[in-house]
Structure 1
Amino acid sequence: MIIYPTDTVYGMGCDIHNQKAVERIAQLKGINPKKHHFSFICYDLSNIADYTRALSTPVFKMMKKGLPGPYTFILEANNQVPKLLNSKKKTVGIRVPDHSIPRLLVKELGAPILTTSIHDEDEVIEYSTDPELIYEKYQNLVDVVIDGGYGKNVASTIIDCSGSEIEVLRQGLGTLEDIL
């Protein structure tokens, strides 16, 4: 398990094929892995076809314009997505951040990494942004914390492209208008 910066907020992740690590992340976050919507980071658009069904031309053009960038695209999953990640779901979130650290991690690992945001317990700040505070909190819970400087406090924009209509599920750093 690793904590790393992205172009939006700090994330926690692991190899999508490491079931024990995925379960540890779910336990740490207090979520049921069979019900939670997981996303994963790919190196670039060429990786996406390995885990999703065929994309329509408009969705592909939108992704090509927005990635790498502050977007998570919900797409129809194919049978290459590990069962733990889409056990009851037919979709998967795909992210290609505009940040060299998570993309280099994926490239060196040779596989996408499951990703989930690092939330803060503060009532005012939603996401943890200080790498030193993140390290203090998680140093004994994860294997590595990468200090990439202060993170942003705005998550990625989640765009659902799995149905007949494109829908923004969470407005984050990116805007739909910028990639249409």
Structure 2
Amino acid sequence: MAKYFDVHPANPQPRTISTVVDSIRSGALVAYPTDSCYALGCQLGNRDALGRIRSIRNLDDKHHFTLVCHDFAQLSQFVRVDNDVFRAVKAATPGSYTFILPATKEVPRQLLHPKKKTVGVRIPDHVVTQALVAELGEPLLSSTLLLPDEAEPLTQGWEIKERLEHEVDAVIDSGDCGTELTTVIDFSGDEPEIVRRGAGDTSRFE
């Protein structure tokens, strides 16, 4: 049965954030709000939780998981960023963007795209998400909470608690969050490719 945490959207309670992060370190799969709808998150290297995300979302092995990072310094430990890409990504973060980039050896193999050896990364502009990853001290392995055969992601904490009661370990509710998916930019090729248009402005990448 999933635990339910009511977190202040502007001033998240440190004790509650610490409790959630302790559970993530102990293997929990959590549903949490971002600046671009809800996401499922767990600790890097947690194979059981990764499998649960795949099951909940019915994902194949070509799905790009996302490492939700606290800041650019943390992001650059997990992906390779050349000078041109650095400037483009830096200018767009924090924000509602996911960037697909070549992964470093810090990224567990099971998270990589099987052919490209890439992974998604993002730095969200959301106080609660930032508090979580700051307390965790490493990226949060994440995937948008978009259920199979549904066009829209889940955006209400209470609904997520009801629908995924026995599939996640915790739900964090901080009120309204974004309702649009992130804009996804693939920087793994010669030119940036807009894979998905979402909440982030794409004009700077076109």
Q: Same fold (TM over 0.5)?
A: yes
- Structure 2: segments with no counterpart, 5+ residues: 1-28
Query: What is the correspondence of 1:35-54 to structure 2 with a 5 Å cutoff?
Result: 35-53=62-80
What is the CA–CA distance in structure 2 between the aligned matches of 1:83 and 1:46, rounded to whole Å? 21
CA distance, structure 2, for counterparts of residue 133 and residue 102 of structure 1: 19
Deviations 1:38-75 (A, max 9, x none): 1110111001121112x222211111111110000000
Residues 1:10 and 2:1 are matched in the alignment: no
1:23 equivalent to 2:37? Answer no
Residue 174 of structure 1 corresponds to: 200
Cα distance between partner residues in 1 of 2:146 and 2:30:
15
List aligned pairs for 1:20-169, cutoff 5 A.
20-32=48-60, 34-53=61-80, 55-86=81-112, 88=114, 89-119=116-146, 126-169=152-195
Distance in 2, Cα, partners of 1:159 & 1:87? 15
- Please report the TM-score for the alignment, with normalisation by the length of structure 1: 0.90
Question: What CA distance in whole angstroms lies between the structure 1 residues aligned with 2:148 and 2:118?
Answer: 29
Q: Could you say what the CA RMSD is over the residues aligned between the two structures, in angstroms?
A: 1.9
Q: Is the 8 A contact 2:57 2:145 kept in 1?
A: no
Shifted more, 162-171 versus 17-26: the winner is 17-26
Q: Percent identity, please.
A: 40
* Structure 1 CA distance for aligned equivalents of residues 113 and 182 of structure 2: 24
Alpha-carbon shift at residue 152 of structure 1 (Å): 2.6
Amino acid aligned to 1:155: L
How far off its partner does 1:141 sit? 1.4
TM-score normalised by length of structure 2? 0.79
Determine if contact 1:65/1:179 at 8 Å carries over to the other structure: no
- Give the total of aligned pairs: 177
Where 1:146 maps in the other structure, the secondary structure is strand
* Aligned CA distance change for structure 1 residues 58 and 176 (closer, same or farther; 3 Å): farther
- Corresponding residue for residue 24 of structure 2: none
Measured after TM superposition, the shift of residue 87 of structure 1 is 6.1
CA distance in 2, matches of 1:76, 1:106: 22
Structure 2 contact 32–171 (Cα < 8 Å) conserved: yes
The one-letter amino acid of 1:170's match is R
List structure 1 runs of 4+ shifted beyond 6 angstroms. none
